[in-house]
């Protein structure tokens, strides 16, 4: 069991800093949860409160239904992995891994068995006799992770464990973390500012901004049904296209962005009318929810809204491209396309027409930023 519940948890530092502001969340037992958000949003403070290194100013923390709000770290069945690995270079990897067990009086044979088991899971079993200093960054990271795992904690807390690694190692270690989590079934709570890391391996993401909970959901829910404009903008790369428009329901239902109109076809207009008041809105369209039309080769459904624009930049990724479009509004429109005909035929300076997928349009209240659809 490694279930963590935060009940209206806040943390203030002095009179001015509200690092964490009234968070309610229940982290599922055995899940891989990422605490995600921009710098200074309260991620580490939240983790430190779960660990017992920081006491909440308000609210309660429960681990396995037991109130631990004021308990010290050693009274909580958890283990921490920090960004700073703090390995001992004058000891071997095995000694590093076994140190905690030795302090607790675990006998030599059991220590050895447990170290070998964890080293095999982390694929460092051939490094046990070496000094951590002789290992690569990724291997050192595994030793640090192993040192936490040999304790068999019910709860593993990781604070930006990937941030000091270069891109390649980061991706490798990320996969490793997902694999180890699957193998052990321990609850992982992992702090990151990297939305891609969170999207790829988390079972659930707690997204914070300014100390406040924005959304706590599985990654695809955050992606497809963002609760507000912040979530929509933070999740996904490139970011969701967001622009101002006026929602109009006349004979036609449409979004008027000034330079262009997105007409809402009859089949979808009731859903829009039921949820959105006439007037100012923020429109959100993911880059892959636009499709570049190629004259006669790109059939469009009747009533599908389109935008005319000029291509200003093309970024190539091999199996897809990003097109930056000038559509005469105050922001670029970014379109992602994996269509080979588009990738071969569309270049900088071209005039293009793109169609938006109406079923994937997002609308936000410009005042509260809350999702409207
Ligand atoms: P980062 O990604 O940059 O590490 P974070 O999301 O982990 O940021 P926290 O470290 O939790 O954010 O900090 C949240 C806010 O609380 C910040 O404004 C930070 O300056 C402040 N803060 C954190 N710890 C303290 C402290 N011990 N004393 C005063 N202010 C603090």
Name the residue of 42, 50, 160 to mutate for ligand 1: max ligand atoms within 8 A of Cβ: 42
Of the residues 183, 209, 233, which one is the last residue of a structural domain? 233
Of the residues 233, 261, 293, which one is the last residue of a structural domain? 233
By C-alpha distance, which of 58, 53, 41, 80 is closest to 6? 58
> Both 133 and 57 in a single domain?
yes
Name the residue of 44, 48, 163, 198 to mutate for ligand 1: max ligand atoms within 8 A of Cβ: 44
The CB of 37 under 6 Å from ligand 1? The reply is yes
Q: Which domain CATH number covers 273?
A: 2.40.50.140
- Ligand 1 centroid–CA 44 distance in Å is 7
E-state strands within the chain: 4-13, 17-27, 32-36, 58-63, 66-67, 78-81, 155-159, 187-192, 204-209, 212-217, 241-249, 253-256, 261-264, 279-285, 290-293, 306-316, 321-326, 333-337, 351-356, 362-364
Torsion of CA 173, 177, 180, 182, to 10 degrees: -140
The CB of 17 under 6 Å from ligand 1? The reply is yes
Mind listing the pLDDT tens digit for each residue in 185-240? Answer: 899 999 999 999 999 999 999 999 999 999 999 999 999 999 999 999 999 999 99
Report the C-alpha gap between 338 and 354 in whole angstroms: 14
The CB of 192 under 6 Å from ligand 1? The reply is no
Report the C-alpha gap between 74 and 174 in whole angstroms: 28
Of the residues 233, 254, 269, which one is the last residue of a structural domain? 233
- Ligand 1 centroid–CA 192 distance in Å is 13
Domain with 93 in it: 4-233
Which residue minimizes the CA distance to atom 2 of ligand 1?
Answer: 39
By C-alpha distance, which of 261, 247, 236, 246 is closest to 328? 261
Which residue minimizes the CA distance to atom 14 of ligand 1?
Answer: 42
Q: Give me the pLDDT at residue 296, please.
A: 64
Q: Give me the pLDDT at residue 78, please.
A: 86
pTM check: above 0.95: no
Q: Which domain CATH number covers 42?
A: 3.40.50.300
The CB of 44 under 6 Å from ligand 1? The reply is yes
Name the residue of 11, 19, 35 to mutate for ligand 1: max ligand atoms within 8 A of Cβ: 19
Using DSSP's 3-state secondary structure scheme, residue 339 falls into coil
> Both 82 and 216 in a single domain?
yes
> Both 126 and 188 in a single domain?
yes
> Both 29 and 168 in a single domain?
yes
Per-block average pLDDT, block size 10, for the chain (373 residues)? 93 96 96 97 97 96 94 87 78 91 88 89 89 86 84 87 79 86 91 95 97 98 97 96 96 94 92 94 98 78 87 97 97 96 95 94 97 93
Q: Give me the pLDDT at residue 214, please.
A: 98
How many domains does the chain contain in total?
2
Query: Per residue, what are the HEC states of 276-327?
Result: CCCEEEEEEECHHHEEEECHHHCCCCCCCCEEEEEEEEEEECCCCEEEEEEC
> Both 167 and 256 in a single domain?
no
Mind listing the pLDDT tens digit for each residue in 159-183? Answer: 988 877 778 878 888 888 898 899 8
The atom of ligand 1 lying closest to the CA of 191 is: 7
> Both 73 and 219 in a single domain?
yes
The CB of 42 under 6 Å from ligand 1? The reply is yes
- Residue 138's CB: how many other CB atoms inside 10 A? 17
Which residue minimizes the CA distance to atom 22 of ligand 1?
Answer: 19
> Both 201 and 269 in a single domain?
no
**Within-domain flag for 370:** no
- Encoding tokens for residue 79? 């283990």
**Within-domain flag for 373:** no
């Amino acid at each position: 069991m490694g279930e963590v519940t935060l009940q209206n948890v806040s943390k203030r530092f002095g009179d001015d800093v509200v690092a964490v502001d009234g968070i309610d969340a229940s982290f599922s037992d055995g899940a891989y949860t990422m605490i995600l958000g921009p710098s200074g949003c309260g991620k580490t403070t939240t983790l430190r409160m779960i660990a017992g290194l920081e006491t909440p100013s308000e609210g309660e923390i429960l681990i396995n239904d037991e109130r631990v709000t004021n308990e010290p770290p050693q009274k909580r069945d958890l283990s921490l992995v920090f960004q700073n690995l703090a390995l001992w270079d004058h000891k071997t990897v095995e000694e590093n891994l076994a140190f905690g067990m030795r302090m607790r009086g675990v006998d030599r044979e059991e220590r050895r068995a447990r170290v070998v088991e964890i080293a095999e899971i982390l694929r460092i079993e051939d490094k046990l006799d070496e000094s951590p200093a002789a290992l690569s960054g990724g291997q050192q990271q595994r030793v640090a992770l192993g040192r936490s795992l040999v304790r068999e904690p019910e709860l593993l807390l990781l604070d930006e464990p990937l941030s000091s690694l270069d891109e390649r190692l980061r991706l490798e270690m990320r996969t490793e973390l997902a694999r180890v989590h699957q193998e052990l079934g321990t609850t992982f709570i992992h702090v990151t500012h990297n939305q891609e890391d969170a999207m790829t391996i988390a079972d659930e993401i707690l997204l914070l901004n300014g100390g406040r909970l924005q959304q706590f959901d599985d990654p695809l829910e955050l992606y497809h049904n963002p609760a507000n404009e912040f979530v929509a903008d933070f999740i996904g790369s490139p970011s969701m296209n967001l622009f101002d428009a006026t929602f109009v329901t006349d004979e036609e239902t449409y979004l008027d962005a000034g330079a262009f109109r997105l007409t809402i076809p009859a089949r979808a207009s009731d859903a829009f009318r039921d949820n959105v008041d006439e007037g100012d809105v923020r429109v959100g369209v993911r880059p892959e929810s636009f499709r570049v039309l190629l004259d006669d080769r790109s059939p469009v459904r009747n009533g599908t809204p389109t935008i005319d624009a000029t291509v200003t930049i093309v970024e190539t990724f091999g199996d897809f491209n990003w097109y930056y479009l000038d559509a005469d509004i105050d922001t670029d429109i970014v379109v992602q396309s994996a269509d080979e005909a588009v990738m071969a035929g569309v270049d900088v300076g071209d005039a293009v027409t793109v169609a938006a997928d109406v079923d994937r349009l997002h609308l936000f209240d410009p005042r509260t930023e809350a999702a409207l659809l």
